[in-house]
Amino acid sequence: MDCVIDVQDLHREFVTSKGWVHRKKERVKAVDGISFQVKRGEVFGLLGQNGAGKTTTIKMLITLLAPTKGKCEVLGFDTFSQEKKIRNRINFIFGGELGLYRRLSARDNLKYFACLYHIGQEEADSRTARILELVGLSEKADILVETFSKGMIQRLQIARGLLNDPEILFMDEPTVGLDPLGARMLRDIIRTLKEEGKTILLTTHYMYEADELCDRIAILNHGKLVAIDTPANLKKLAEEEEVIEIRLEYPMENKVKEIEMIQGVKQAVLQQDEKDCLLTVKYSAGAEIIEAVMEILKGTKVHSFSNREITLEDVYIKMLEGLS
């Protein structure tokens, strides 16, 4: 196994001060003893709620933040004492416009960054053209970045991240804020990069995205690792459950309570959205609950009724509920 990221018992604490008069010091355990390895060529996902420690972990891996304790190695080198051996061989993408020059074209931005990497003019020209093609920006290459949409900016960020031909690409929430089409385009780019042999470590809040892209996923909660496995194996953790989704015209809280009393039902949750209400019922696989549910909903306007497969999101919620 060619292991390119090796993290063992990694910790990072932050000390913050609170209050005006009597300032009190507070310690935050952002990363609290996590261990994992990533193989060359893998797409590895870090999942977790806000504040779970994903960005802190990435910052330690890309040599921007020192660990408080533990082993943090990338490409066989320590990220804190041997950072110079790592920096040229990796790259990272944090969302938004950070680091791009709005008054320059996409091509000129890339040429500028190529210059910072000491890439010769000829090589810079050909690399820039190839990367712009890869991220689908060839036709917009000479237009000022200030006219770009969020999706185009994010694709340009990926192009910038590829300039030094990194062996590992770190991405912090690469599709956040993009419309569905832009996000899909970005996921296609990530797949192409994997086919080219790049190792990718990404964070995301979107379960379907992690499911679609990642070979393995690590779930973080309050700085600790609560699960690490392939999406398929993680879904097996909730295999003994099935889910039905019912769209109702009106919220029916009293009926939800009745449904929860049906034998075999584990949970019934009602969510109101703009158009109607979504009732999600989780139940033990094989339990015959549908007739009983329909009986309770008699006289209620039901827009749709569907049985769906367990998703990574169900597993994630189940896992975090089990911990709270």
Contacting residues toward ligand ATP, per CB under 6 A: 14, 16, 28, 30, 48, 50-56
For helices 121-134 and 150-162, the axis angle rounded to 10 degrees is 140
Tell me how far, at minimum, the Cβ of 170 lies from ligand ATP, in Å: 12
Nearer Cβ to ligand ATP (167/173) = 173
Nearer Cβ to ligand ATP (14/250) = 14
Tell me how far, at minimum, the Cβ of 52 lies from ligand ATP, in Å: 4
Nearer Cβ to ligand ATP (44/148) = 44
Nearer Cβ to ligand ATP (176/292) = 176
> What is the distance in angstroms between the CA of the first residue and the CA of the last residue of the chain?
36
Tell me how far, at minimum, the Cβ of 50 lies from ligand ATP, in Å: 3
What size, in residues, is the chain? 324
Nearer Cβ to ligand ATP (34/310) = 34
Tell me how far, at minimum, the Cβ of 287 lies from ligand ATP, in Å: 36
Nearer Cβ to ligand ATP (15/232) = 15
Tell me how far, at minimum, the Cβ of 59 lies from ligand ATP, in Å: 8
Tell me how far, at minimum, the Cβ of 55 lies from ligand ATP, in Å: 3
Tell me how far, at minimum, the Cβ of 109 lies from ligand ATP, in Å: 25
Using an 8 Å Cβ cutoff, are 153 and 99 in contact? no
Q: Which residue has the tokens 């690399």?
A: 127
Nearer Cβ to ligand ATP (46/246) = 46
